[in-house]
Structure 1
């Protein structure tokens, strides 16, 4: 006579109530990490390494804090600029700070009509709503502030105004240098100057 099969006992995360294998796909994975390290360390070995790295970072920050208070200003200034340039994203990925540059791209639609998009003016302290009004008046066309595909705001101007826009931008907003203006042509970034 065959033995009766025993039921499978499934363990669930106490934080998100998913099986531990699926915690990384849940919305509270950062909150689940301590529970996973304690209860299922073999399932996520990289979490243990991350925890050790965080502890090492805390110790390094404490040592750096004592170096700052002792008077080493050069090391403090260089480390502060590195921290400003680097931004941590969810999942531990590192994102560098956006470069201050204006990107102008012409998008053709319906074979004859085109839209010129201007991205990055806000990085120079330009208010986008005011800029769109000025662009619309200067080129006698419609201009509006819209969210682009990367969820950042950009200015869409009806028509092909790429021939005259660089001069207008540098004259209207002197904080924007001509070296920081680029065109997107055939998928490549080309300097405007």
Structure 2
């Protein structure tokens, strides 16, 4: 009688859940690499070489940074500069700081009706719900806080109030300088001043 075949043992990746042989075709191969180097070095020998080279680079970078730090400390510099904290996005890209500016845009709908949107007041410490109430009362129209296309909150005011809004904003909220207010006209940002 023939021998019973033994079941095949498959090593599944602890990061993506795919069999380890298929990690390179999965969506998170970069995240899987450290796990593969540690748990399945025979499947991807190139990764093992890269990992050793990366570790050597990290050690040399650490040695250089400590020697630079020791060199600056021994040079007699008493002022300590705090490194600027940089926010990084998930892909490793650096997040840009938001400019403190108020952007006013008039959007025409149904041929003659228009909506004026005000973006960026929250960057100056203005509570948007209070600002929308004040704008609605001042211009005798409807105003509400809505999420814009970039998932940021903005104030939508019914009607074209762009003629008087700059003066109203600078008088009501003195923290907002007139130089920080811009209009969007024909797709271009134009200073209000």
Q: TM-score over 0.5 for the alignment?
A: yes
CA distance in 1, matches of 2:96, 2:52: 26
Cα separation, partners in 2 of 1:21 and 1:144, compared to 1, 3 Å: same
More helix by share: 1
State the match for 1:4 in structure 2: none
Deviation at residue 49 of structure 1 after TM alignment: 8.5
Deviation at residue 53 of structure 1 after TM alignment: 7.5
Cα separation, partners in 2 of 1:118 and 1:17, compared to 1, 3 Å: same
Deviation at residue 112 of structure 1 after TM alignment: 1.1
Cα separation, partners in 2 of 1:33 and 1:155, compared to 1, 3 Å: farther
Report if aligned partners of 2:116, 2:157 keep a CA contact under 8 Å in 1.
Answer: yes
Matches within 5 A, 1:8-27: 12-18=12-18, 19-23=22-26, 25=27
Deviation at residue 72 of structure 1 after TM alignment: 4.3
State the match for 1:93 in structure 2: 93
Matches within 5 A, 1:52-67: 56=61, 60=65
Structure 2: gaps (5+ residues): 1-8
Secondary structure, counterpart of 2:95 in structure 1: strand
Cα separation, partners in 2 of 1:141 and 1:17, compared to 1, 3 Å: same
Where in structure 1 do 4 or more consecutive aligned residues deviate above 6 Å? 45-55
State the match for 1:157 in structure 2: 157
Deviation at residue 64 of structure 1 after TM alignment: 5.1
State the match for 1:115 in structure 2: 115
Structure 1: gaps (5+ residues): 1-8
CA-atom RMSD in angstroms: 3.6
Matches within 5 A, 1:21-170: 21-23=24-26, 25=27, 32-36=32-36, 38=38, 39=41, 40=44, 42=46, 56=61, 60=65, 72-73=78-79, 76-77=81-82, 79-80=83-84, 83=85, 86-170=86-170
Deviation at residue 48 of structure 1 after TM alignment: 8.5
Cα separation, partners in 2 of 1:163 and 1:31, compared to 1, 3 Å: same
| Structure of larger gyration radius | 2
The superposition leaves residues 78-128 of structure 1 with CA deviations (integer Å, 9 ceiling, x where unpaired) of x33xx3xx4211111112110100011111111111111111101001011
State the match for 2:3 in structure 1: none
CA distance in 1, matches of 2:16, 2:72: 41
CA distance in 2, matches of 1:15, 1:165: 53
TM-score (norm 2): 0.73
Secondary structure, counterpart of 2:105 in structure 1: strand
TM-score (norm 1): 0.73
1:176 aligns with 2:176: yes
